[in-house]
């Protein structure tokens, strides 16, 4: 019976209140669609990143880790590793002679490898920025929804109450039976605005917390990956002496 009364109140409301409720319905549908999409995306990112990180540290060489990374398309850590690995292969295939006994050539090759580290760092930094942008995509709409929908609902309520008091003035009667229906219809807009805003704000805070954790893990993995590359370059050079 309460549901039927709510439907009646919406159908009997003024055009402006109905327009406000229609706007709130749009915000609600869009927000819930974003919540479902981002929840699945972040959940997959967490799961596959955990799998790849474990595989990466267990791998004997980077090429094996690269093959495994290609299978984990939902992991942002695996994606930045693939980009860094491709840049590393470009350095190793730059044409420098690795078997030369000439100390000057060895020094030049070593310098070129360390210069190539700057390219790897730049590529990883760009990849992290790209992944952060991808993770935060559409999330700001939830913040917009949480900030604006209560005021949209309040506007509908104020407009409905204005119409109610205008009707009271036209009828010349201020009895509860005359005032209550119009005010109750107007208050539906405020309730609807809060119902849309509350889940959006909760979801926004949840996603931003998860995104910050993932971003921190991306930066940590990038630093570890660069340390491994620098260590291998130094060990390679020491082995030739």
The model's pLDDT over 27-76, given as tens digits with 9 standing for 90+, comes to: 999 999 999 999 999 999 999 999 999 998 888 788 888 888 888 889 99
Mean pLDDT over each residue of the chain, to the nearest integer: 81
Per cent of the chain over pLDDT 70 is: 73
Q: Which runs of consecutive H residues, i.e. helices, occur in 139-175?
A: 139-171
Question: Are the C-beta atoms of residues 14 and 160 closer than 8 Å to each other?
Answer: yes
Residue whose token pair is 């990180």:
53
Give me the long-range contacts of 51-58 (CB less than 8 A, separation at least 24).
Answer: 51/75, 52/77, 52/78, 52/81, 53/77, 53/217, 53/221, 56/81
Task: Decide: helix, strand or coil at residue 99.
Answer: coil
Please give the backbone phi and psi of residue 59, each rounded to the nearest 5 degrees, phi first: -70, 145
Contact 178, 168 (CB under 8 A): yes
pTM for the complete prediction? 0.79
Show the tokens assigned to 197: 């805003």
Nearest to 63 by CA among 99, 89, 87: 89
> Residue 141 has what pLDDT?
96
CA distances from 228 to 46, 70, 171, 235 (A): 23, 20, 82, 10
3-state secondary structure of 173: coil
Alpha helices, DSSP H, located in 13-75 = 15-58, 62-71
């Amino acid at each position: 019976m309460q549901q039927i009364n709510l439907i009646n109140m919406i159908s009997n409301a003024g055009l402006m209140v109905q327009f406000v409720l229609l706007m709130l319905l749009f915000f609600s549908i869009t927000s819930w669609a974003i919540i479902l999409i981002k929840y699945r995306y972040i959940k997959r990112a967490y799961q596959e990143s955990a799998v790849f990180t474990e595989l990466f540290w267990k791998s004997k060489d980077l090429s094996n880790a690269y093959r495994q990374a290609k299978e984990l398309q939902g992991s942002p850590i695996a994606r930045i590793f693939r980009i860094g690995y491709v840049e590393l292969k470009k350095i190793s295939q730059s044409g420098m002679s690795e078997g030369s006994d000439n100390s000057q050539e060895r020094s030049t090759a070593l310098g070129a490898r360390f210069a190539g580290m700057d390219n790897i760092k730049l590529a990883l930094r760009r990849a992290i920025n790209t992944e952060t942008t991808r993770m935060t995509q559409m999330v700001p709409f939830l913040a917009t929804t949480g900030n604006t929908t209560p005021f949209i609902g309040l506007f509908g309520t104020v407009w409905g109450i204005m119409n109610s008091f205008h009707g009271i003035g036209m009828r010349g009667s201020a009895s509860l039976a005359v005032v209550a229906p119009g005010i109750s219809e107007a208050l539906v807009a405020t309730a609807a605005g809060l119902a849309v805003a509350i889940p959006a704000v909760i979801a926004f805070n949840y996603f931003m917390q998860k995104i910050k954790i993932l971003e921190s893990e991306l930066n940590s993995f990038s630093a570890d990956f660069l340390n491994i590359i620098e260590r291998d370059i130094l060990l390679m050079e020491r082995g030739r002496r």
